[in-house]
A and B are shown apart, each in its own frame.
Chain A
Amino acid sequence: MLALILRRLALMIPVLLGLLVLVFVLTRIVPADPAAVLAGEQASPEQVAAIRATLGLDRPLHVQFVRYLVQVASGDFGTSLYTHRPVVQDLAERMPATIELALASMLLAILVGIPLGAVAAVRRNGWLDQIIRVFTIGGLAVASFWMAIMLQLVFSMQLDILPLRGRVDAGVPAPPFLTGLYVIDYLLAGNLALARHALWHLVLPSVTLALPATATIARFTRSSVIETLQKDFVAWERAVGYPRRVMLWKYVLRNSLSATVTQVGLLFGLFLSGSIVVEAVFGWPGLGDYLFSAITTADYQPVMATTLAIGVIYAVVNIMVDLVQARIDPRVAEQR
C-alpha cells in the first residue's frame, strides 16, 4: 500500500513541473506589464524599468524560471501585487473557504446522488426511474453561473429566506480559527446561532456546486447497481431469503460503489473549476474567487500559485480515490 502511494506521488511530480512551466510561460507573455501596473499610471519609464529590474523581469525567461523554481522550493510563492501580501498567506486564508464549500457540496451530492441512483436501479424503467433520468441528464446541462443567479433570484431576492452572498453577513465576526470551516468553528466555539447563520450561507452555493455532481453520482450508481443485481450472489441471497433491505443497502450497494468512488475523484475537479464561478457569483472568499481576480488583474504570482495548488489538490484527491477504492474492493489493491 505504501509503495503504491509513493509511486503515485512520484508520478505526480513531473506532471506538476510541466504544469508549472506551462503556466509560467503563459503568465510571462501577458500583454499587461506587471511592473507598469505596480508602478502606477504616473510613473516615468525609468521608474518602471527600476521596478522591472527589482522583480527580475528584465532577465531571460529561463533564468526567471529557474529563480522561480528555487523560490517555490523554499515555499515562497511571491507577493500579490493586488493584496500586497505573500501569496502563501492569501492562499492559506482562502483555502478553508473553498474546502468548506467543496465538502458541503460533496456531502450533498453523495447523500442525494447514491440513494437516487439506487432507487432508480431498483425501480428500473418505472416512472420513478424516468424522473430520475430526466434529472441526471438535465443536471449536467445547467450552466452553474445561471443556476446560481436563479437561486439567488428566487430564494434571496424574492422569498428572502436565504442569504444572497458571503460566508457570513457583513459585520459578523469570523469564528476563532480552528479548522477554518466556519460552521464547524462556530460549533466548536459553542455559538449555535452563528453556526446556523454560517450554514444558511452555505446552502445556495453548495446546492449550485452539487447539482452536476449529484447527477453524475446518481447515474453511475444506477448503472452499477443494475449490474450488481444481475450477479449470482444476489440471486442466491434472494433465494435464501435475505431481507430485501439488508440485501440491497448492505451487499448490493457495497459491491456497486467502486465506480461511484472513481467518479467522486473526477468530480473534485468539477468542484475546483465550478468554485471559480460559484465563488464569483456568491462573493465566497475562496480559491476560485482569488484565482479569478488575479487573472483579471494580471497578477501573475497568485495565478501561478493557485493553479499549482489546484493541480496538487486534484492529483492528491485522485490518489486518495485509488486508496479508498482499494479499501472498498480488495481486488483493486491486488491488481497493482
Chain B
Amino acid sequence: MSEFIDLLISVGIASAMIRLMTPLLLAGVGELFVQKSGVLNLGVEGIMLFGAFFAFIGTFFTGNVGYGLALAIVVGVAINLLFAFLTVSMAVDQVVTGLAINIAAIGTTSYLYRATFPYATAIPAKTETIIEVEPIPFLSSIPYIGPALFSHTVFTYAALLLVPVAAFMISRTSWGLRVKAIGEDPHVADLLGLNVVRTRYFILIMEGVLAALAGSMLSISQYNMFLDNMTQGRGYIVVALIILGRWSPINFLAGSLFFAYIDALQLRIQAAGITIIPYQFALMLPYLASFAALALVGRRVKGPASLAKPYKKVK
C-alpha cells in the first residue's frame, strides 16, 4: 500500500504530468481565446499535426530547431487564416470547417512526408538536434519541486506562464472584455463599435502560433521523428478540457493537470505491474475521470452565447 502511495506522489509522476500537459496547455490557451470570441475551432488538432510535420521538416533540413519552429508557425498561421477566412469572413459552418482541416491534415502530412522521404532504409528519418530540457538554475535544485517543475523544456515554462497571463487578459483588461462581448453577442458588439472580424482574425492567428508550437513539441522536442498522425487526438482533448473548464484559464489549467496526472498515473499503474486494476481500466481512467469531473463541476456557468454561431454583419 505504501508503495502505491509513493507511486501517487513520486517526483517521477509529477514531472511526467507536467510533460504530458504542456502540449495541451499551449494549444489550449489559444483555443480558449478563440472560443471566448465565439468561434469553435475543432481544427486545432489539424494545426498541431501540421505543426509537428513542418517543425520536423524545417529542423531536419536545416539542422536548426529555430527554423523548424519558424516554419511550423508560418504554416499554423496560414491554416488558421484559411479557417478565419472561411468562418469569420464567409460565415461557413465552423464545426465542418474545423473537421475538414483535421482530415486534410492527416492526408496532407503523410503525403508530403512520403514525397519528401522516398522510402530508403529501415530507420525512419530523424532530426539530429531537438529542443532539450533546460533546468532553471537554483530553482531546479529544490528537492521535489525542482525536478518536477523546473527541469523541463522552454515549451513548458512558456505554457505555464501563459495561463496566468491569459487569465489576466480575459478578466482584467479592456481587450479581454471586448473579446468576451464579441463572444456573447457579436451583433451588439458590432453596434457598440467593436471590430468583430478583426478581433477574431487576430485571435485565430495567435492560436495558429500556439497550436503549431504545441505540435512542434511532439516532433522536435519530446521526440525526434515525425510519425503518421502523431498528435493522436490531443487537439480534441484540448477542446474537451476547455469546455470542461467552463472557459476559464485557471479551470482549464486544473483540468489539464488532472487529465495529465491521471494519464501519467495509468502508465505507472501498468508499469508497476499493479494487477488488481486491469490495464484496460487504467487506460480508460483519464477519460473516465474527466467525465466524472465534468458531471460534478457546476453546470451553472454558461459558455460564450454565440459560440460556433456563424456571424454576418447586418448592413
Same complex for A and B? Answer no
Taking beta carbons and an 8 Å cutoff, which residues of A are in contact with B? Answer: none
Taking beta carbons and an 8 Å cutoff, which residues of B are in contact with A? Answer: none
